[in-house]
Chain A
Amino acid sequence: MTTPPTSAVPTPAAASAAASAAGDPAGVDAAAAPSGGGLDLLYTDVEDALRASVRDLLTARCTPDAVVAAYDGDRSLTATLWKALAVDLGLAGLLVPEERGGAGASAREAAVVLEELGRFAAPVPFLTSAVVATTALLASMDDDLLVRLAAGERTAALVVPLSADAAGFRPVVRVQEDGTLHGRVTSVAGAVEADVLVVPVATGGGVALHAVEASAARVDHVVSLDMTRPLADVTLDGVRGELVVGADAGADAVRLALETGAALMASEQLGVAQWCLSATVGYLLERRQFGRVVGGFQAIKHRLADLYVVVESASAAARHAAVTAAEQDPDRTVAASVAQAYCSGAAVRAAEECVQLHGGIGMTWEHPAHLYLKRAKADQITFGTPGRHRALLGELVDLPA
């Protein structure tokens, strides 16, 4: 990579143009907006350029052989790849405003990065640190940690179970009168890579967020279904942290962080699904049985056509979730749950079809399909299952049980 350090990062002006541009006169004349025109669900030139930078880097460095090594205990890819993405491309600060040391981009751009990370099953803590923990810390009054996260100097993890959803999360860590933290949180993603833990703490006045040095906590690595996003059990046994978000604001900060995580993970799921579809189509255009290309059999074609429809639909759902998050649209909570309720299943279906339609080779360790299956299935449970999001939607859109 010879890309200059900040070339991948959209300027705030470009990002804001991206957010308001496009197929919708509403941006220009909201008073006479056409019905159904809606938010711009396509990609801007800035986003395309960002995607190209990320894809170039991942193509060069994030090969399936290097990724699969994580399952055999070799996690050496993560540190170098994360530094290249976070520092060299400047992606760690995408969601941090310029005046707080970041790139001042938006959820639109972060979503494009996640699509590419999904496409490569990349084992980096972008989602956990640069999206979830960073979003939580945007509520902080003290910018010191945020500035260092944005610069990629530090990596953070929000200490919640990866399966927690925005509406249902309740903290289990307690603070004692002497200010020490006590509690154990299982299945935390990003803690393995993090050097600072952002811990939601239950207090009498609400939920506070404490920043704890990872070295001060016990972080037990867990053998995970998806070792490209490895989990850890975090134990805090009388550790002292620094209060970064007060009890008046912590609950909202965590809720927004988990909602943003859910909204943007849909783009990662889209990337997973797109890789699975194109890898499968590519393989079936080459694989011959019965004297014919297997992709020419109608039974196969119809399955792939249906899968294409699912992937295209997932791209609209993921894009809508990213755009509503970027614009702080009142519909963003609904959009996040719609995206999770749809894209989780879409990615799993694409990965399962990928394995099945590859036949024998699809079941092997040497073929990368399993990396995507494991990522897709773990993502389905992450930030709330599809069933959980459907139940939430029942309340949000007035379709009660």
Chain B
Amino acid sequence: MSESAGQLADLRGRVEALLAAHDPATSDRLDFLRARFDAGLAWVHFPEGLGGLGLPRSLQGYVDELLARAGAPDNDPRRNGIGLGMAAPTILTFGTDEQRRTFLRPLWTGEEVWCQLFSEPGAGSDLAAVGTRAVPDPHDPGTWVVNGQKVWTSSAHKARWAILVARTDPGVPKHAGLTYFVCDMTDPGVDVRPLRQITGEAEFNEVFLSDVRIPDAHRLGAVGEGWRVANATLMNERVAIGGHAAPRESGMAGVVARTWRERPELRTPELHDRLLSLWVEAEVARLTGQRLRQKLAVGEPGPEGSAMKLTFARLAQELSGLELELLGEEGLRYDEWTMTRPDIVEFTGRDAGYRYLRAKGNSIEGGTSEILRNIVAERVLGLPSEPRVDKDIPWKDLPR
């Protein structure tokens, strides 16, 4: 593989220089993060000048570790998962130089949180059917006017920007009439309303767009290319969800294992074998993710990430379900139904009942498991798609 002792030594030198110029103990957090970005140590696989050094993705862990050891603040990536995991790589791939310069730095530092305006009440798995319209303003050339409704929007209430897929040409088949934009969430036409979920809390939102104005300079990719751009985003999402670096027993397996160890009185032989089956599967999933990351170290996310996400969702659901059974009578209780707006979503947070219910979302968000199986079957295994009745029909003529 590509990294060498020389690369590591060079990185270590750059980290030391950053720390020397900006002592984490005395620097302002944001100043430090901006300096880190400017030193190319934010995401080393990004190009120089955009927070990176054009190095293999696999070297990032080395930088993170050195900085963590020095007590440097991080950019709290959990607060801006969609920005870091989805918007950033899409902007890098499809954005203009101006867009990259404008958006990437405050995105990475966390000054600006991003959300995703993709799914709609009438377009979930069939994302290409979105009906939110973007129309050029006849009185203001260079501006689009957007109307529609989006759902399942995490972080919309905190977001400064959104990545948005909208229909710009209803007269052509659905995949061909889409365009991808960056939407200003502070526009007066953006109305964010909490959407309560089965857990009781409102982690997501509905977003109503009424005459929202978007300058053409905030279009990502060509008019009509939105589907291709959105697909690149979704591949990144699946990698982000399914393939993060992790030690053994991280995630749901660790939660259930801890309960098992701490509560010997709850154990039964039947639960023991199920626990170990799932523990083995979780360990294998961890190794599979590690292997996938090694494959991706110099490459782009591919459909293999969809496979990881399938496994992750199933294991989170089975493990959290097992934990409720293990807890028995305690599993009948729930911590809190009051509607809250969580700041950070922790799949393994709160109590076992919450974890069980929240895990149900894992096989729906970021592509349902059914759609992911189609992706694996078609793009990895090369199997044909089902016959599509809507493929050649203009979007406006589709039955709905």
Contact = CB atoms under 8 A, between A and B. Distances in A.
Given A301-B374, A313-B288, A37 B8 contact: no
A25 interface: yes
A289 interface: no
B3 interface: yes
B53 to A, nearest CB: 15
Interface stretch (B122-130, B224-232, B273-281): B273-281
Contacts of A28: 3-5, 8
A401 interface: yes
Interface stretch (A117-125, A205-213, A302-310): A302-310
Given A316-B291, A317-B287, A309 B376 contact: yes
Given A305-B377, A399-B260, A36 B280 contact: no
A338 interface: yes
A309 B269 contact: no
A284 interface: yes
Interface stretch (A48-56, A155-163, A389-397): A389-397
B283 interface: yes
B290 interface: yes
B311 A338 contact: no
A336 to B, nearest CB: 12
Contact of B373 (A292, A301, A314, A338): A301
Interface string A137-164: 0000000000000000000000000000
A312 B311 CA distance: 11
A398 B257 CA distance: 9
A361 interface: no
Contacts of A399: 257, 260-261, 272, 275-276, 279
B247 A316 contact: no
A312 B383 contact: no
B284 A35 contact: no
B245 interface: yes
B283 A36 contact: no
B374 A313 contact: no
Contact of A319 (B8, B272, B291, B382): B291
B315 to A, nearest CB: 11
Interface stretch (A38-46, A186-194, A220-228, A365-373): A38-46
Contacts of B383: 281, 284-285, 295-296, 300-301, 304
A5 interface: no
A77 to B, nearest CB: 32
Interface string B97-121: 0000000000000000000000000
A314 B65 CA distance: 30
Interface string A370-400: 0000000000000000010011011001111
A246 to B, nearest CB: 36
Interface residues of B, number: 63
Nearest to B273: A390
A388 to B, nearest CB: 11
Nearest to B293: A23
A35 B291 contact: no
B225 to A, nearest CB: 28
B68 to A, nearest CB: 9
Contacts of B269: 401
B381 A281 contact: yes
A315 interface: yes
Contacts of B276: 341, 390-391, 393-394, 399
A29 B69 CA distance: 15
Interface in B136-178: none
A342 B280 contact: yes
B77 to A, nearest CB: 14
Given A29-B8, A34-B64, A338-B283, A401 B267 contact: yes
A305 B374 contact: yes
A308 to B, nearest CB: 6
Interface stretch (B24-32, B55-63, B209-217): B55-63
A202 interface: no
A341 B279 CA distance: 10
A363 interface: no
Given A296-B386, A309-B311, A342-B280, A42 B62 contact: no
A397 B286 CA distance: 16
A391 B69 CA distance: 38
A22 interface: yes
Interface string A224-243: 00000000000000000000
Given A285-B382, A285-B383, A312-B307, A37 B61 contact: yes
Contacts of B8: 25, 28-29
A32 B62 contact: yes
A320 B295 CA distance: 15
B321 to A, nearest CB: 18
Nearest to A39: B290
Contacts of B386: 296-298
Given A284-B383, A305-B376, A312-B307, A41 B290 contact: yes
B202 to A, nearest CB: 32
A302 B58 contact: no
Given A391-B276, A399-B257, 12 more contacts: A23-B58, A32-B62, A36-B245, A37-B245, A40-B294, A284-B383, A296-B384, A301-B378, A305-B374, A316-B287, A341-B276, A394-B272
5 contacts: A23-B1, A301-B377, A305-B310, A319-B287, A398-B261
Interface of A: 21-25, 28-29, 32-38, 40-42, 281, 284-285, 292-293, 295-298, 300-302, 304-306, 308-309, 312-317, 319-320, 338, 341-342, 387, 390-391, 393-394, 397-401
Query: Which 8 A-B pairs rank lowest in CB-CB distance, beginning with the nearest?
Result: A34-B61, A36-B245, A301-B377, A23-B294, A305-B373, A305-B376, A296-B384, A316-B287
